[in-house]
Amino acid sequence: MRVLSGIQPTGRFHWGNYFGAIRQYIDLQCEDEAYYFIANLHALTTVRDRDVLWQNTLDAAMDLLALGLDPDRATLFVQSDVPEVSELCWLLMTGTPMGLLERCHAFKEKKAKGVTADAGLFTYPVLMAADILAYDSNVVPVGEDQVQHIEVARDLARSFNHQFGETFVMPRAKVLETSAKVPGTDGEKMSKSYENTIEIFETPKAMRKQIMRIVTDSRPMEDPKEPETDHLYQLYWLFADDADRETMAAKYRAGGFGYGEVKKALADAADGFFAEFRERREQLAAHPEKVRDILGDGAQRARAKAGEVLRRAQEACGVKARS
């Protein structure tokens, strides 16, 4: 079973990235053959500063390694280091109906928000399909908002196989689950686009400052409160063990406490949770050449597999003679 997923280097990872996806990527590498890539070609649709894009790419690699991605278990690489994917993207593009892309919700949503609808944004799902199909991926872990793109990949694979013969493995989506909502500092879903994130690798001092700014309601201290509906408790729940969760929930229901007390407990729990990751991140940052070597080795392995699939597709459609 081969697992594949990519993550865009559009900024530093935050708590929502970790609990919503990265933690589950780490778990999957222990069970299956895993390919994880930093999707810098996809990021070009939004990041237009070369220095920022490159630094974000290197930071994303360091962050993933610090958070537990093991290059001996999983293949980690940069998307653009595998040019076979871009060539495969063109083969798929020639058979992609315009209507299929026009129906993709990500394109429609961004266009509705006034984002310039360039060709890269419009054809984003075809490059994503090439990413998936290039490695004979069986399982693609994604959030619910990305399931449609996996269906596009399946549609394009099915169409190509029908026209040229069995070429591509049919992937399936594995919808990532979170045991709790990951709210941002304003109570909405934590997202860079909402500017409400708390970064994983902020300094403890900066992280505590962000936590103390989390918006809370104005109910009196003495009032009892339901913990499960409170976004501050939902964040605390992510870091605390069962006993501490129960203690904090009981405090909510009894009333007579201030939110500042919860924020301090959250800051202490989050600081302890990420301490080992931060230490590992500092070691990686001190030796960026090791990170580049890991990415180079990963790209070499990824290219070997993508080259095999590309050759198969080229021979199937007649771009190259059959061997």
Active site residues: 110, 189, 192
- Cα dihedral sign, 137-66-194-237: positive
Rounded to 10 degrees, the C-alpha dihedral 146/151/155/161 comes to 100
Cα–Cα separations (whole angstroms), residue 39 to 5, 48, 131, 135: 9, 14, 9, 15
Superfamily of domain 2-180+288-317: HUPs (3.40.50.620)
CA distance 42 to 47: 9
Q: Rounded to a whole number, what is the largest CA-CA distance in the chain?
A: 78
Domain residue ranges of the chain, discontinuous segments joined by +? 2-180+288-317, 192-282
> Which DSSP symbol is given to 79?
G
Q: Residue written as tokens 């459609």?
A: 317
Taking a C-beta distance cutoff of 8 angstroms, is the pair 59, 97 a contact? no
Tens digit of pLDDT at every position of the chain (323 positions): 899 999 999 999 999 999 999 999 899 998 779 999 999 999 998 899 999 999 999 999 999 999 999 999 999 999 999 999 999 999 999 999 999 999 998 788 877 888 777 899 899 999 999 999 999 999 999 988 889 999 999 999 999 999 999 999 999 999 987 655 799 999 999 998 889 999 999 999 999 999 999 999 988 888 999 999 999 999 999 999 999 999 999 999 999 989 999 999 999 999 999 999 999 999 999 999 999 999 999 999 999 999 999 999 999 999 999 98
Q: Helix 105-112 crosses helix 147-164 at what angle (to 10 degrees)? A: 130
Q: How far is it, in rounded angstroms, from Cα 220 to Cα 232? A: 16
192-282: CATH topology is Tyrosyl-Transfer RNA Synthetase (1.10.240)
Q: Classify residue 202 by its DSSP letter.
A: S
